[in-house]
Structure 1
Amino acid sequence: MTDRLPPQNIEAEEAILGGIMLDPEAVTRVSDHLVPEAFYITAHKDIYQAALRLHRLGKPTDLLSVINWLADHDLLARIGGRNKLVSLVDRTVSAVNIDALAPLVMEKYLRRQLIKAGNEIVHLGYETETELPIVLDQSEQKVFQVSHQKFCSNTEHNSTINIAAYEQLESSSPIYPTGLYELDNLMVGFEGGTLTIVAGRPSMGKSFIASFLALQMILLHKLPVIIFSLEMTKKQLEYRLWSLISVVGAYKHLGLLPLRCDRIRRHRAGFEPLEEWEFSSIAKIVGIARELPLYINDSRGITVSEIASECRQVKAKEGKLGLVVVDYLQMMAEDSLGNRSYELGDVARGLYKMAGDLDVPVLALSQISRAVEGRQNKRPMMSDLSQSGILEMVADNIILAYRDEYYNPNTEDQGILELIMAKARHGDTGTATVFFDKSYGIIRNLE
């Protein structure tokens, strides 16, 4: 097996390069999906990179231009000299078939990448000192990268980054507002590859906030969401979702009856059995919930690598992921090594890396320390985060939740939830004030 020639198509590579130099407009038809690494012959890779650089600088990719560029960058001799380029053009009749040839070259490249990944997975299998879940996750990542054409080299010349950044202005990679105006004024919205932490003391409404923002991503942007709940079961979350659906504005036209969060529990306990008219409304809510692109995982001992694996599967199925919710960080940080801060740091870094790898926004919930209880002003600060150092470092956004009525029952701020933006890597710090009804888990903008 090791003596076999790796998959390649030299003739197709030569025809593509000849076509690009023969017809300078041809490069626009392959530049978006044919990468330089796909060329099996190193010289061919250098020639194609030269053509791409010229194209991105707005210059022609004809024979003379490519020769001059390679010569100016001391690469002409390495690719075989002027005669190599002339021979490529001489053997090319036209660039008419370049669109069909590019996929052939990419296919051979991906096969080589798959062989490489397979060899790396074999070596991983022999690493018995590495825990099996980690080996399985790394193996899955390698195959996932090949199937999604994600290449190992991430170092690019700024001319490439510059064009990509400009093209992103009209691309399908926007930032998704939450629909809470004051919050969006601070953080703009959720962006792929970012980690947002919502932190607060118990009963501040962290899980309600996460559920509401998850539903907003689905309703406003039609994107799938996956929730990893280490605290509540799937059914408990489902009942909360029903309550939220019953009062959210998007379904007001259906005439749904408001369903309090504790209504199902009271029915199940036999305290207040559901009436027939309530069952009728719940049936409508169930029909709505059934169609939502929402996934829930309630595995109590789930790891970051397992979360990443589940996310990859959902993303492959749905094509895109709008938001990943993790409830909550401290439940994932095992204390087996006697250093909870170290474990929490690993979890936070892992989620941050996963957000970047999958290009998806991650929303993680976190507890804060009891220090606030001893202060006169009990509004949390970033330093109140449990093991705050690493969380402050890796998070793009840190939102601290505070409800004054929890500590001061007679406060004038009844039903007011403060979302304190303590850190906003790409936005502004400040406080977003919203209305919060814990009975239904609904959050609304203040008038």
Structure 2
Amino acid sequence: MIENLSAEQSVLGAVFLDANVLDEISFLEERDFHNPVHQQIYKVMKWLDRHEYPVDAVTVTEQYVKFKKTDQLDTTYFIQLAESCPTTANVVHHAKILRSKAIRRRGSEIGNQIADLAREDFETDEEYFSAVEALAAEIRPDEQGRMKSLQETRQSYFDYLLDKSVDYIETGFPQFDGWAKGIYRGDLFVSAGRPSVGKTAKLLQRSLGVAETGPVLIWSQEMDENQLKDRMVSNITGIGYNRIRNKELNPQQFAQIEEAYNRIEKLPIFLQDSSGITIEEVRSTARRFKRKYGDLAMVAVDYLQIMSIPRVKGQTRSEAIGEVTGAAKQLARELKCCFMMLSQMTRDSDKNPKKPTLSELKESGAIEQDADVVEFLWINPDDKEQQGKVVQQFIAKGRNTGLNEFRLLFRGWKQQFVELEKKKRKR
């Protein structure tokens, strides 16, 4: 404890010697100081610096008294702090010691708080998990990135160029993959459409392709896991989906399904059929799977609008959805995977079938802003094929790819999409 106090005094004393060191220790938070008096002194120092006032014994004393009237110190203590630190040379080292000890201190304190949660009455286990995760997240420092010069990052850039690994993952759709290279790690990919257009079938077929690269986690909120498997098996075998769903299978078809399942069970695809999931549940599960299996390829939620999206008082649903999509984007970047989120379109899009616009995303504001890719699946009544239903795939937003359109044949009886040639424009 004496060592902690000495390090805290050394850091504060260095600021009195040269207030510019506040820029070097910007990673240090007020709560990293164990001594409450030192917390307040550091808070005053940062306030003065932020408002471009001098940071010295006189100004700090004056503001300290204003902030903390019940615990008044005279100028003598601040002068002693400055005199206790002969140089600013080691201030960053001492600041890092403070932060490291503070992290462990918070871990111990929050561990006790988590133990206390076990005695509270939560309506569901999920609420308990969320409360635990919220406390655990408080241990982590409030990290702020720092600006780096091109010279500092030269080596990392050329290492990146020489690294043959890529940030994109092929999906098994040749035209799309040939144009976009696939889906990108770190992207929030929103796939939107009206009901019955084939959003879930498209997701499952994509997952079969993506899982060749790495683990895929799928949360389904409307279908149970066997319904999802029915669709996947129908897609692979060509056996009618309704025949599989109604269990009207002859021995040969059953053998085909068993053979198909033997193949797909080797793919790292994981399913969870839970209604009303939260983004916190998705985050904690995805992190756990990354620790166990390494880099994930894709995390997918079917679909956004029926997730459990709590709202604080005065918050609109659109704002609450914004927090979910923002968290999804952060998770994609953190885990270096694609976050595939299915979304509804507004009912107005049914009234006059035409190429959708971003405004037709249901509760669109935050979704449009946070997404790296927005894909619409829609039906053009003028485009028909005898073999099945033609679905238009319109990439309405592509941060890394630009915009494009594809024609897909949806053979709904076997839950399978096939890319079609684009129609030639009439002159």
Q: What whole-Å deviation, never above 9, does each CA across 1:198-228 have from its counterpart, x for those lacking one?
A: 0011111111111111111113x2x110001
Question: For residue 97 of structure 1, what is the aligned residue in structure 2?
Answer: none
Is 1:244 aligned to 2:235, yes or no?
Answer: yes
Q: Paired residue for 2:342, among 359, 362, 365?
A: 365
| Total equivalences in the alignment | 323
Partner Cα separation in structure 2 for residue 274 and residue 413 of structure 1 = 24
Unaligned runs of 5+ in 1: 7-36, 38-76, 81-107, 247-257, 268-272
Match runs of 1:44-193 below 5 Å: 78-79=88-89, 115=104, 118-119=107-108, 121-122=110-111, 125=114, 132-139=128-135, 152-158=143-149, 159-171=151-163, 172-184=165-177, 187-193=180-186
Is 1:209 aligned to 2:202, yes or no?
Answer: yes
Q: What whole-Å deviation, never above 9, does each CA across 1:283-322 have from its counterpart, x for those lacking one?
A: 2122123212111111112100110111011111111100
Question: For residue 328 of structure 2, what is the aligned residue in structure 1?
Answer: 351
Is 1:321 aligned to 2:309, yes or no?
Answer: no
Question: For residue 375 of structure 2, what is the aligned residue in structure 1?
Answer: 399
Partner Cα separation in structure 2 for residue 393 and residue 344 of structure 1 = 12
Is 1:304 aligned to 2:296, yes or no?
Answer: no
Distance 1:278 1:391, change over 3 A: same
CA contact 1:434–1:444 (8 Å) conserved in 2: yes
Partner Cα separation in structure 2 for residue 266 and residue 194 of structure 1 = 38
CA contact 2:388–2:411 (8 Å) conserved in 1: no
Distance 1:430 1:160, change over 3 A: same
Partner Cα separation in structure 2 for residue 317 and residue 389 of structure 1 = 35
CA contact 1:182–1:433 (8 Å) conserved in 2: no
Question: For residue 281 of structure 1, what is the aligned residue in structure 2?
Answer: 256
Partner Cα separation in structure 1 for residue 412 and residue 370 of structure 2 = 30
Secondary structure of 2:183 counterpart:
coil
The TM-score, its normalising length taken from structure 2, stands at: 0.66
CA contact 1:200–1:380 (8 Å) conserved in 2: no
CA contact 1:227–1:297 (8 Å) conserved in 2: yes
Question: For residue 43 of structure 1, what is the aligned residue in structure 2?
Answer: none
Superposition RMSD in Å: 3.5
Is 1:380 aligned to 2:372, yes or no?
Answer: no
Q: Paired residue for 1:417, among 367, 382, 391?
A: 391
Following superposition, the deviation at residue 378 of structure 1 comes to 3.0
Following superposition, the deviation at residue 374 of structure 1 comes to 1.8
Partner Cα separation in structure 2 for residue 431 and residue 214 of structure 1 = 21
Question: What one-letter code is carried by the residue in structure 1 that aligns with 2:159?
Answer: E
The TM-score, its normalising length taken from structure 1, stands at: 0.63
Q: Paired residue for 1:440, among 398, 407, 414?
A: 414
Secondary structure of 1:302 counterpart:
coil
**Identity over aligned residues, as a percent?**
26
CA contact 1:332–1:347 (8 Å) conserved in 2: no
Following superposition, the deviation at residue 185 of structure 1 comes to 5.2
Partner Cα separation in structure 1 for residue 160 and residue 135 of structure 2 = 31
Partner Cα separation in structure 1 for residue 110 and residue 358 of structure 2 = 41
Partner Cα separation in structure 1 for residue 333 and residue 88 of structure 2 = 36
Is 1:260 aligned to 2:251, yes or no?
Answer: no
Following superposition, the deviation at residue 361 of structure 1 comes to 0.8
Partner Cα separation in structure 1 for residue 138 and residue 292 of structure 2 = 18
Unaligned runs of 5+ in 2: 6-26, 28-86, 91-96, 422-427
Partner Cα separation in structure 2 for residue 395 and residue 141 of structure 1 = 25
Following superposition, the deviation at residue 379 of structure 1 comes to 2.9
Secondary structure of 2:348 counterpart:
helix
Secondary structure of 1:439 counterpart:
helix
